[in-house]
Structure 1
Amino acid sequence: MAHYVDSEVGRLGAVLLHRPGPELARLTPRNNDTLLFDGIPWVARAQQEHDGFATALTDRGVEVLYVHHLLTETLAAPAAREELTGAVLADVRLGDSLRRRVADHLAGLDPAGLAEVLIAGLAHEELRGRPTGLVYRLMDRHDFVIDPLPNLLFTRDSSTWIRGNAAVTSLAMPARRRETTITHAIYRHHPRFAGTPLVYEPGLEHVEGGDVLLLAPGTIAVGVGERTTPAGAERLARRVISGGLAETVLVVPVAQRRATMHLDTVCTMVDVDAVLMYPNMAHDLLAYTVTADGEAAPGVAELAVSGPEPFLRAAADAMGIDRLRVIDTGLDPVTAEREQWDDGNNTLAIAPRLCVAYERNAETNGHLERAGIEVIQIAGSELGSGRGGPRCMSCPVARAPLAPTGDEPPSAQG
């Protein structure tokens, strides 16, 4: 299968998911804030709900690729193993004595065991042998030598595909940064993704996949706020425009509060010309339009910036349509706010006018259906405790192109 994505709504062919596992069971009232969860999920129920999500996709012909399986297979490559263990051992909190012990522990694990530790972490009491040194002795017995990654569930954030290129992002929060080292290693070392060009990589300015929407072939919206920085948006825009992956990037400032952490918590696409939006913000969002600077000197990848103007107007103009249809999450302000908080806006399109949404957002789902959008409703009472919906939990790696017939997808990988 070719790995290629040029829109949010083209027929979905393959997607990266992560089934929640032991890393979720590591959450406690003592650490859930640090690990970015609002509550303590019931792990078995979260797994059931996630299995229901995966089944909804496979029943409609979508290939589901699990991060844990890909990681285990990737770790069979010595270079990948060295890269990922090196990232763990680079943690400055360890100190020299504990770092040596952790290195010995990881060296004794097979690929499956190492994948488990990289995702679920390593607790103080799980370290083999008799560790010595000041750092280990001063740790609480309930602390982690290697932190778990409960947010790996939200595979959208650590990478996003732009046509035939993968953008491995640069996550802002320290609790999540190891997620990108895992995704980066999979794209570089797993046989399925060998040769994939990377248009963005960890270590650059902060960009998160939840802030990147592919509005149409050649048109990308990037939210700037709590997680994606203006510098990150500019770097991504420069790379996709100079690389011929997009002609226009709309940079959209998003209010910096928990309820609007990413752009896709207030806006997702459900048709080629329709978005589901949080009504409290729909007509307040502004966008700066970024294109190539035609006045720049030859060979200089400079950008031209115009605006701001209303996001809906800028998006329609960039997409070449008269207007972008808006479907609201709730008509009254209280319902809209409740359903936005419960990820009512965060839908995953399987095809134009066909999307997956949490069943709990009944009013939003009703609005979608009345607008001609078929909604596949899934349970999410436990999955939603990390504040993420179906789009957050999925990273499409293959969609049918929406590019005009005869327009060969650039850089598509076989």
Structure 2
Amino acid sequence: MENKVRLYSEIGKLNAVLLHRPGIEIERMTPENAHEALYSDILNKKLVDGEYANFEGVLSRWTKTYQVVDLLAEVLKNEAVKKNLVETSCRLDDCGFLCDELLSHDEKTLARELVEGFEYRRGVDPQKYEDERYILKPLYNLFFTRDAASSMYNMLLMNTMSFKVRMRENIIYRAIFENYFGCESINAGEWEPTARTEGGDVLIARDDTLFIGNGIRTNKKGIEFLAEYFKVRKPKFNILVQELPETPESFIHLDMVFTFLDKDRCMMFEPLIRKNAKYSHLQTTHIEIDNGKITYHQKPNFLQGARDLGFDLNPVVCGGDDPWTQQREQWHSGANFFALGEGKVIGYERNWKTIEALDKAGFAVLKAADVCKGTVDMHKYEKFVVAFAGSELPRGGGGARCMTMPINREEVKW
């Protein structure tokens, strides 16, 4: 069923996905608060709307799509859920005096306020808020639905976010997944307060294997939590970990340098994944779980580590052959593809050398606008990449995989 969490790969045919259409919350970001909001620039919503419409349009022609705000409004009909969400949100933003007012609002209004923020009104709140426009902060990053939680196997990994500005996303996802999808959740932060994980770093390679990035958003404690969790639940399990550089910001997650395209194909930022001289200091580690015993094995590079685990991957190189173009296109999420099925992916059109490399690798190149108009039928192609226009969305710091949380995929026969 499409409303049951079932994900055992990155590439099985997509049956359902969770999205958030960017709303006015992104217009509530200013040059002054952009850094706090985890952006390096502010976005133009009018341009974002057009780009996102094509992205969402492609997905809706392929699979069942859910919207975060719609599901949030649905679960807010439960008074206990509503009370817990409001009280926890207000506690996070230190505005407990707003609880009664927010609880008096209907579920659709409240769902919007929890996402778009609640504006300061003189006379309603204490003096210390008079310099703030929004007491309940807008969720500027919510359209990156991948990060705050990870749908994984038949459960939800509640990612312990590194920054307070994103913590409300956690409790929203938990409410949705536990009350709408009926899904168990686990949380690294409840095991160890310093543990950190984010969804862009967690790739479901296979039913017995995770690929994980270790960088500024997912730390060793977070990875250790996952190893300990699976140690007592799986007789044999593997975690392949790639250390990521702290800078530049485009290396924020593993899926910015590596994504699956098919059973035997991946997209990679070659200098890091093959570890050229510049990145030779970054560790690649295979964490092997075998009947309760955890063993660590160092690997020469990530691609070799994957092959040693039985993934015979023939890579497509982000940016093509030229090292400078590789850097330029990786910067704008050129390696960040999202699979609709085996050999069926979607990504940014702007990274044209990457799209050209996919074309050479046998992927039919389809334009998102044509798919949305109905002049091109994706279902007629065995292998394809849908290229959607993006000049404004990439400035937010993510691509197609970042903007999707898959709910259900069909099983892949390896």
Give the TM-score taking structure 1 as reference length.
0.87
Give the partner amino acid of 2:214: V
Give the partner amino acid of 1:324: L
- Report the secondary structure of 1:290's partner residue: strand
- Report the secondary structure of 2:300's partner residue: strand
CA contact (8 A) 1:162 1:245 kept: no
Query: Which among 301, 314, 336 is matched to residue 326 of structure 2?
Result: 336
- How far has the Cα of 1:158 moved from its partner? 1.6
After superposition, the Cα gap between the structure-2 partners of 1:346 and 1:288, relative to the gap in structure 1 and judged at 3 Å, is same
- How far has the Cα of 1:206 moved from its partner? 0.8
CA contact (8 A) 1:358 1:379 kept: yes
- Report the secondary structure of 1:236's partner residue: helix
Partner of 2:289: 292
Give the partner amino acid of 2:120: H
> Partners in 2 of 1:240 and 1:378 — Cα distance?
37
After superposition, the Cα gap between the structure-2 partners of 1:263 and 1:246, relative to the gap in structure 1 and judged at 3 Å, is farther
> Partners in 2 of 1:159 and 1:132 — Cα distance?
32
- Report the secondary structure of 1:228's partner residue: coil
> Partners in 2 of 1:79 and 1:52 — Cα distance?
37
CA contact (8 A) 2:188 2:222 kept: no
After superposition, the Cα gap between the structure-2 partners of 1:132 and 1:74, relative to the gap in structure 1 and judged at 3 Å, is closer
- Report the secondary structure of 1:150's partner residue: coil
Partner of 1:274: 265
- Report the secondary structure of 1:176's partner residue: helix
- How far has the Cα of 1:201 moved from its partner? 5.9
Partner of 2:253: 262
- Confirm whether residue 158 of structure 1 aligns to residue 148 of structure 2: yes
> Partners in 2 of 1:357 and 1:247 — Cα distance?
30
> Partners in 1 of 2:358 and 2:163 — Cα distance?
33
- How far has the Cα of 1:280 moved from its partner? 2.1
Give the partner amino acid of 1:314: G
Query: Which among 103, 112, 124 is matched to residue 131 of structure 1?
Result: 124
> Partners in 2 of 1:358 and 1:219 — Cα distance?
28
CA contact (8 A) 1:217 1:246 kept: no
Partner of 2:279: none
CA contact (8 A) 1:9 1:350 kept: yes
- How far has the Cα of 1:293 moved from its partner? 4.7
- How far has the Cα of 1:93 moved from its partner? 3.9
Partner of 1:411: none
Counterparts of 1:74-89 in structure 2 under 5 Å?
Answer: 74-89=75-90
Q: What's the % identity of the aligned pairs?
A: 31
- How far has the Cα of 1:266 moved from its partner? 0.6
CA contact (8 A) 1:217 1:402 kept: no
**Structure 1 gap ranges (5+):** 295-300, 405-414
Counterparts of 1:231-242 in structure 2 under 5 Å?
Answer: 231-242=221-232
Query: Which among 171, 196, 200 is matched to residue 206 of structure 1?
Result: 196
After superposition, the Cα gap between the structure-2 partners of 1:245 and 1:173, relative to the gap in structure 1 and judged at 3 Å, is farther
Counterparts of 1:113-152 in structure 2 under 5 Å?
Answer: 113-125=109-121, 130-136=123-129, 139-140=130-131, 142-152=132-142
CA contact (8 A) 1:163 1:245 kept: no
The Cα offsets for residues 153-179 of structure 1, whole Å up to 9 and x where unpaired, read as 001112222221221211112211111
Partner of 2:99: 103
Partner of 2:33: 31
The Cα offsets for residues 118-149 of structure 1, whole Å up to 9 and x where unpaired, read as 10111223x7xx3253423xx31x53211111
> Partners in 2 of 1:203 and 1:157 — Cα distance?
18
Give the partner amino acid of 1:88: S
- Report the secondary structure of 1:15's partner residue: strand
After superposition, the Cα gap between the structure-2 partners of 1:394 and 1:241, relative to the gap in structure 1 and judged at 3 Å, is farther
The Cα offsets for residues 225-279 of structure 1, whole Å up to 9 and x where unpaired, read as 1100100011012213432397111121111111200000011111112211112
- Confirm whether residue 20 of structure 1 aligns to residue 17 of structure 2: no
The Cα offsets for residues 170-216 of structure 1, whole Å up to 9 and x where unpaired, read as 111221111111101111122xx12x122436645210000011222
> Partners in 2 of 1:269 and 1:312 — Cα distance?
12
CA contact (8 A) 2:258 2:336 kept: yes
Give the partner amino acid of 1:76: K
- Report the secondary structure of 1:90's partner residue: helix
Counterparts of 1:37-76 in structure 2 under 5 Å?
Answer: 37-60=39-62, 62-76=63-77
Partner of 2:404: 394
The Cα offsets for residues 268-295 of structure 1, whole Å up to 9 and x where unpaired, read as 111112211112212116421112254x
- How far has the Cα of 1:90 moved from its partner? 1.3
After superposition, the Cα gap between the structure-2 partners of 1:221 and 1:246, relative to the gap in structure 1 and judged at 3 Å, is farther
The Cα offsets for residues 68-96 of structure 1, whole Å up to 9 and x where unpaired, read as 100010111112112211112213644xx
> Partners in 1 of 2:41 and 2:235 — Cα distance?
39
Partner of 2:379: none
Give the TM-score taking structure 2 as reference length.
0.87
Counterparts of 1:171-320 in structure 2 under 5 Å?
Answer: 171-190=161-180, 193-194=181-182, 196-200=183-187, 203-204=190-191, 205-244=195-234, 247-257=237-247, 258-284=249-275, 286-294=283-291, 301-318=292-309, 320=310
- Confirm whether residue 380 of structure 1 aligns to residue 367 of structure 2: no
- Report the secondary structure of 1:402's partner residue: coil
Give the partner amino acid of 1:18: H
CA contact (8 A) 2:316 2:357 kept: yes
The Cα offsets for residues 11-69 of structure 1, whole Å up to 9 and x where unpaired, read as 11110100000111101111111101222211122122212111111222x11111110
The Cα offsets for residues 306-353 of structure 1, whole Å up to 9 and x where unpaired, read as 2243211111121x24x3211111221221111101111101011111
> Partners in 2 of 1:403 and 1:169 — Cα distance?
29
- Report the secondary structure of 2:92's partner residue: coil
